[in-house]
Structure 1
Amino acid sequence: MAAFFEQLSLIIANAGIVLGVFVTLLLTSKSVRESRANLFLSILLLAMSFSILHIQYAGRVIDHFAFNVFSLGDPTFLLIGPLLWLYMQELTGHRTRWSFRLVLHFVPFLAVIFLSTTLNRFFSGSEALAFLGGHRGWLAISFWVFIVIQFSGYLYVMNKRWRAYQLLVEQEVSNTEHVSLAWVQFFMGVFLGILLFFLLVLLNQIHHGNSVWVWRTMAVIFSLSVFALGYKGILQKEIFHVDRTQPEVVPPAAPSPAPEPESPKSDPQLVDRLLRFMEDEKPYLDPELTLSSLAKRLNLSRSVLSQLINEGVGDNFYNFVNRYRVEQVKAFMNDPTMKHYNLLGLALEAGFKSKSTFNLIFKRFTGLTPSEYQQTLSI
């Protein structure tokens, strides 16, 4: 049985290496690549594939050379956190540019490689090297402590960035199906699992020392992660980016109106104008409605409209628009000419883009599911 699981883990690990390279080539091809974020995702998958390769074969290959390496730990683990951060930067619309600060993220990785390849070569026979050699256990523990701290730090900052970005999204779009929220949650979940395994390795290192099962299991976990991220990464659509290129004030086609007040929440005329426009023109029926497009139609700046909704109406843009959509669905349910539509059809007609979002939003504002609400109409 042990031989079976060993062969199975070897097959999964080797498949992870091959798949990681394949998905990298696929994500960077012109026919699949949709954004710069996919480029960083492909680099991340390639780094994980190289890590599997290093776990599986580095010892065997290095043993065939006279070049002696003083192992401080697997340096490829130190690449994952920075690459995760760069990927999240691209997903949330922060274009990555090469700079000195960017290089600092990779200093631990480069430092481990440098020290591993130079300690035996330049300090052979020294007391310091002998001391390090006699305390490899503590050296390994220190390495894994650093890995866990580094990885935890990157995941914490990424989660904080993503939560802030979600709030920004709800201030800009009225439908979030194309914002890849589920993809990011899945992505973060995978690497949270990897962090928990790193923590398990650290505890094993403290209490039992190095074990063969650790490396085999790590290769399998990395391979399964490559399978999952590669599959989901190919299928995921480009994440939404807030358009900041739009001028803050849209010039009117008619004669210039009076200047907009600095504090729109204090101007009831602007609030009334917005509410009348929503009732009369029904812009919420457009599933692609955004804050920027609505501002343009109202001849207001994006920032003024955002403040008007947030402070004058007391809601964010996402809830503001979808509340109208819910009311429209309720009106459709009472309209005899719409009886041939099912619930999903009514939702699509009202501006929703998916059944799941429709059900969630409808219950949020009414306390009932759409079918439950429809049943109350027939009583």
Structure 2
Amino acid sequence: MNLLNIVTIISLFISLFLAFFLITAKTEHKSSNVLLALFLVINAIDVSEPLVNSLVNGPSNLGMLRTTFAFLQIPVFYLYVLSVCYSDFKLKPQHLVHLLPFLIVNLMLLPRFYTVDIAEKISFIQNRQSRIEVQLIHIMIHVQIVIYLIAVFKVLRKSKKLYLENYAGKHINSYNWLFQFTLVLTIIYLVALLKNILKFSDYPHLSDAIKIGLQLSQLFIICWYLFKALNNPGLFRNIDTKLKLVDEMVSEEKSKAPSVKEDNESLYTEELLKLKQFMTEEKPFLNPALTIQDVSKQIGIPVRDLSLLINHQLRQHFYDFVNTYRIESAMEILRDTTKSELTILEILYEVGFNSKSSFNTAFKKHTNCTPTFYRKNL
């Protein structure tokens, strides 16, 4: 057994183990876990090629079907991202449309591969570079990857913006984690694209070398993914798909009559005073999971108006708006000589932060220095 097969077996074991863990774990967000588990299983099927080739002599229907499972990988990842970003995501019959590329490809292979004898199958593989089916399949997989990756980055961009405009909790770090993983996948797919281009060039040996490199990298990527997943079990699942971006609401406001706009301006002034008084006196920012909906209920301002007030009129995301009050509160504690025994960690939890990294980032953004430096130089 060569090194590549050993690495493949280890990768398969880790992928399937994590998939089993996700399916059996008790959680209210079952859809996300199932989709992630399905993604890992499909990935395991994909990386199993060296092992399958060493066990099966010659082309087979099962081997070809295994290859076409690549058309399910990126759509499942896209659905997983949706399920993680939006709290009200549910798998629906219309999501079956993502199966179409996989079904079309297998229908294309039906006449000249699946339904012929072994001799015809061998001929098909040997002459694959001239087969129109193979060429179309390669074009389709690359187009699919580009379209879905663009869609995934758009979902992440929009959901992160919605989060910043409506929430002030700790889960913003999870967006960064998911973005990182998507970026790693993008790099892998781009390298795979290069491999496939070289396959049909005058340098097929380079394609084979890249293929081996991709197989070896799978083990490290899965291990990294496993480490991240187990250390971030509480992924952000806070965004409601019914929420609108502030830009969309502003566009709607601009379409209103001028008299309505003037009324809105005076109303915003009153609401701003009410909001600032509420933040100063009631200190809702001490709640680490504060949302714009919470503030809306407590001060009696509709969520839409409050969102426009903070995110558009004040030109601050709700996330930054709330953190400003948290940092001001932290600065008061740091200046208080009677509380000098409190550690930075104790202070950040007291003012509503949930992690040291987010506190340090917000503090430096607000004061241009770290909390420790601020305390030492009072």
TM-score tier, shorter chain, comes to 0.7 to 0.9
**Residues 120 and 25 (structure 1), Cα distance of their counterparts in 2 relative to 1, 3 Å cut:** closer
Unaligned runs of at least 5 residues, structure 1? 1-5, 247-260
User: Contact 1:89–1:96 (CA<8 Å) still a contact in 2?
Assistant: no
Corresponding residue to 2:167 among 146, 166, 173: 173
**Residues 68 and 106 (structure 1), Cα distance of their counterparts in 2 relative to 1, 3 Å cut:** closer
Q: Distance in 1 between matches of 2:42 and 2:322?
A: 43
**Residues 339 and 72 (structure 1), Cα distance of their counterparts in 2 relative to 1, 3 Å cut:** closer
In structure 2, the partner of 1:115 is 108
**Residues 220 and 70 (structure 1), Cα distance of their counterparts in 2 relative to 1, 3 Å cut:** closer
Structure with higher helix content: 2
Q: Distance in 2 between matches of 1:243 and 1:71?
A: 40
Unaligned runs of at least 5 residues, structure 2? 244-259
- Identity of paired residues, percent? 23
Shift of 1:87: 0.7
Shift of 1:318: 0.8
2:289 match: secondary structure? coil
In structure 2, the partner of 1:347 is 348
Counterpart AA for 2:24 = S
Q: Distance in 2 between matches of 1:264 and 1:376?
A: 44
RMSD: 3.3
In structure 2, the partner of 1:85 is 78
Residue 36 (1) aligns with residue 41 (2): no
2:169 match: secondary structure? coil
Q: Distance in 2 between matches of 1:62 and 1:103?
A: 34
Alignment of 1:13-28 (within 5 A): 13-28=8-23
Counterpart AA for 2:315 = G
Shift of 1:44: 0.2
| TM-score, normalised with respect to structure 1 | 0.81
In structure 1, the partner of 2:246 is none
Residue 238 (1) aligns with residue 238 (2): no
User: Contact 2:285–2:326 (CA<8 Å) still a contact in 1?
Assistant: yes
Residue 266 (1) aligns with residue 260 (2): no
Alignment of 1:353-364 (within 5 A): 353-364=354-365
Shift of 1:344: 2.8
1:74 match: secondary structure? helix
Alignment of 1:1-379 (within 5 A): 7-31=2-26, 34-57=29-52, 60-61=55-56, 63=58, 74-93=67-86, 95-100=89-94, 102-120=95-113, 134=127, 136=129, 143-177=137-171, 180-205=174-199, 206-209=201-204, 212-236=208-232, 237-242=234-239, 265-267=265-267, 268-377=269-378
Give aligned pairs, total: 352
1:287 match: secondary structure? coil
Counterpart AA for 1:300 = I
